[in-house]
Chain A
Amino acid sequence: MRRSSLLILALLPLLGACAHGGVQIGAKPWQRDVLARRSMQLGRDPSVIAFDEHTYFSKEAASGGRSFDGGGCGCN
């Protein structure tokens, strides 16, 4: 399990390298209107995310992923 995590971690910079290299991925500065939309933001509505993560933290064994895995709560 640990080895597979490390492998995926090692692959992360490759994705970025593709953006830099010949592969046509990414958006030009003048193509940002859709990405800049409110509906396209990661982690939109932080209050809803915080409520949901608090609920899942108190009911499930797994936590974190999107952000840190603590909870600051005695509920689990």
Chain B
Amino acid sequence: MQLSGRGLTATLGVLAGALLGSPPAAAQSEGAAANAYDRTASEPGTMVADTAVLIYQEDDDRVRAVEAASTITWNAPGGAVVSGRLTYDALTGATPNGGIRSRYAQSFYPPSKTAIGGGLGTNPDTQTGASGRYTVPPGQLPVDKGFKDHREAYDLGVTLPLADGFKLSVGGAASFETDFTSWSTRASLAKDLWNKNTTLSVGFNFEHDTVRPFTGIPRAQSFMGDQIAGRSRVKRVASLVAGITQILSPDWLVQLNYSYGISRGYHTDPYKLFTLVDGDTGDPFYTIYEERPGVRRRSSIYGATKFALGSSVTDASVRWYHDSWGITALTWSFSEHLPVGRAAYLEPGLRYYHQTAARFFAPYLRVDEPTPRYLSADSRLSRFRAWTVSLKAGAQLTPRLEIYGLVERYVQRGLRFDRSAPGVLARTDLFAGTRSTSVISGLRYTWH
């Protein structure tokens, strides 16, 4: 029974309009729409400029990021779309270095760049000013306060409609940081089937990354201050995404994607350390550089759905993720688009994320234990769960100008205390996860 009340209302509206002598509200796409966001999205022959700013702040004066992005999209009358995007971000603050808290002050220093006379921690970086050497007071989480970087990223994409309902998209991206460069290229093909109720797509992406740490590449699992193993390292990532988008009813659609990616090269975080502790007292005994495997295979299945009820839209998605490092993650996300007046909306959102630990993750190891082939104390590889609570809003100020914004709170929770840990570690907070607040605001202008 798809001849719903809405269809009937529209028909009656057109009839009533004709009787009253007013122009019929054509397909309720423009004037008759109850809310500006009920209007049709497809706008061939338009140019859209979008600029947005993100301010991201972690609790305890950890990382702060300010990120600005501008996108220009040209929707050609024939259906082709050309889009260019420029992103700039600046990061400052303190990031956990992988070491554990201690009841004593701890000093950390980078690898030395020369065999003789390099000295410990005398490799000041000309761009960030960081020396790589710092001391952490007793009881505090070891963080590297010299963390400071900026990034410029460029992205260009073109989508071309081909014959028989095929659509080809190609694009490329480049990203530049003081110590990291990334290039990527992508291509995907989509095909509409069965009166455009089904869309199949397949895409490939290839990425080439170069890391050039300002401290040099540390010798993996070696002691702090040891001579560097090189200046830079490379990583290559090849990814595939295959998906289907299916319209289930006139107000309900679903999307399902399968992704597979293989990454080869340097995955180790050159700034991350690892603490070996005294097996009796639990005090740090020795600090070494971490080491991760040279290959990582990732798979994920992503499902999303959108369902409209009146002018409200429910958006839900779930992702299952697994990689060859032994991490399995599940992500649930839910948001509700609620119209406000004739030109605005509110969108509360909730996201839940859970991941298991990488096989080689450990917050510390005892110095009398054999050291495994790979090891990392990076909390991003640990077992944790995370909640995001968000509120998004937008308003169509004029037919051409839209304003939007988002406030978001993100909290990670993991295992903080391990009663079986040796000595003082049984009473030491071992989790280095993040809590952060994000604020986004943006403007979008459309030329018809």
Contacts and interface: CB of A to CB of B under 8 A. Distances in A.
Interface string B352-389: 01010010000000000000000000001100001000
B410 A8 contact: no
B413 interface: no
A41 B308 CA distance: 11
Interface of A: 1-2, 5, 8-9, 12-13, 15-16, 19-20, 25-29, 31-42, 44-48, 50-52, 54-56, 59-74, 76
A76 B237 CA distance: 14
Contacts of B146: none
30 contacts: A8-B258, A19-B197, A26-B194, A26-B249, A31-B250, A33-B27, A37-B41, A38-B40, A39-B308, A39-B313, A39-B345, A45-B442, A47-B50, A47-B440, A48-B440, A52-B408, A59-B386, A59-B434, A60-B353, A61-B325, A61-B329, A61-B380, A62-B355, A64-B261, A64-B302, A65-B259, A65-B301, A65-B319, A70-B207, A72-B175
Interface of B: 2, 6-7, 27-29, 35-42, 50, 52, 54, 56, 67, 69, 71, 85, 87, 149, 151, 153, 173-175, 177, 179-180, 182, 184, 186, 193-198, 200, 203, 205, 207, 209, 211, 237, 239, 241-242, 244-251, 253-259, 261, 298-302, 304, 306, 308, 311, 313, 317, 319, 321-323, 325, 327-329, 331, 337, 339, 345, 353, 355, 358, 380-381, 386, 392, 394, 404, 406, 408, 410, 412, 434, 436, 438, 440, 442
Given A16-B194, A27-B247, A51-B52, A61 B381 contact: yes
A39 B38 contact: yes
Given A15-B256, A68-B259, A50 B87 contact: yes
Among B175, B259, B381, B442, the most chain A Cβ lie within 10 Å of the Cβ of B259
Contact of B244 (A16, A35, A69, A72): A16
A2 B299 contact: yes
Given A37-B41, A72-B184, A76-B380, A51 B299 contact: no
A12 B244 contact: yes
B239 to A, nearest CB: 5
Contacts of A74: 149, 177, 179-180, 182, 209, 211
Given A50-B69, A64-B259, A45 B404 contact: yes
Contacts of A64: 239, 241, 259, 261, 298, 300, 302, 321
A42 B245 contact: yes
B395 to A, nearest CB: 13
Given A25-B197, A48-B442, A74-B179, A38 B69 contact: no
Contact of B438 (A25, A45, A51): A51
A5 B322 CA distance: 10
Contacts, number: 246
A26 B251 CA distance: 9
Contacts of A47: 50, 52, 69, 71, 440, 442
Nearest to A31: B250
